[in-house]
Every structure is written in C-alpha cells, then in structure tokens.
C-alpha cells in the first residue's frame, strides 16, 4: 500500500485523538465492568462509585472492552427485565 492509498478519514482522526482520560488498564476495566453496566441500568443511570470514574474514558478508547461491555449490558438488562435503550445511550462509544 502506498501513501496515497492510506487516507486519514475524519472518524479515524477522531479515534486517534479521542480524550484518553485517566489511566485505567483493560484488566481493571474487566474487574469493574459488571458493576459499571449495572450502574447504567439502575434508576439513576449514573455509576455511583468514584472507583468507576475512569470507566467512560476507557470504554470510549478501547474498542474491545467497549464491545464486551455492550454485550454484558444487554445480557444484564435481559436478565433483569430492563429495556437497555437508555443505558446503551449512556455507554461510551469507542
């Protein structure tokens, strides 16, 4: 592939320069993700714990963790009999 065939579309530029936020490893994201998605599905819709504060930026920056968190949210919503639509809109998009 030569230079002219390697463009930088706007969406790729956005993903390259998205705000990385405070550091949170993928392992810590995995440790916290069950609490995080249930927080999003809860009445207030916002994760209540300070420990979860770095989750939105991580999920916005890591497409693998974001993909898995979305699945977990949908499974948890179905088990709890909750419509996931509102919580899905709050889940950061990688």
Partner 1 sequence: MTEVSHDRSACRRARGTPAPGEDWIAELTSDGRVREDALRRLHALLVRGARFQVSRMSALRAMVGAAQVEDIVTLAADEAMVAVLSKLATFEGRSRFTTWAYKFAVLQAAVELRRAAWSRREVPLDAAPPLTEPRPSPDQYAEGAELAAAAREAIDRVLTPHQRRIALALIVDEVPIDVLADRLGTNRNALYKTLHDARSRLRTHLAGLGYATPPTRSRGEAR
Q: How far apart are CB 14 and partner 1 at their closest, in Å?
A: 5
Token couple for 62:
């890591």
* Contact between 39 and 48 (Cβ < 8 Å): yes
Q: Output the six-digit token pair for 16.
A: 């390259």
Collapsed DSSP state (helix, strand, coil) of residue 91: coil
Instruction: Give residues in contact with partner 1 (CB under 8 A).
Output: 1-4, 6-10, 12-21, 23, 25-27, 30, 33-35, 37-38, 56-57, 60-64, 67-68, 70-72, 74-76, 79-80, 88-93
Least spacing, CB of residue 83 vs partner 1, in Å: 15
Taking the C-alpha atoms of residue 56 and residue 17, their distance in angstroms, rounded to an integer, is 16
Looking at beta carbons only, is 64 or 83 nearer to partner 1?
Answer: 64
Tell the smallest beta-carbon distance from residue 43 to partner 1 (Å).
15
């Amino acid at each position: 592939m030569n230079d002219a065939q390697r463009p930088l579309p706007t969406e790729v530029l956005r993903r390259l320069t998205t705000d990385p936020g405070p550091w949170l490893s993928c392992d810590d994201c995995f440790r916290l993700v069950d609490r995080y998605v249930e927080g999003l599905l809860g009445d207030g819709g916002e994760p209540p714990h300070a420990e979860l504060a770095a989750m939105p930026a991580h999920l916005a920056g890591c497409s693998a963790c974001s993909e898995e968190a979305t699945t977990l949210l949908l499974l948890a919503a179905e088990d709890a009999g909750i419509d996931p639509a509102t919580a899905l809109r709050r889940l950061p998009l990688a």
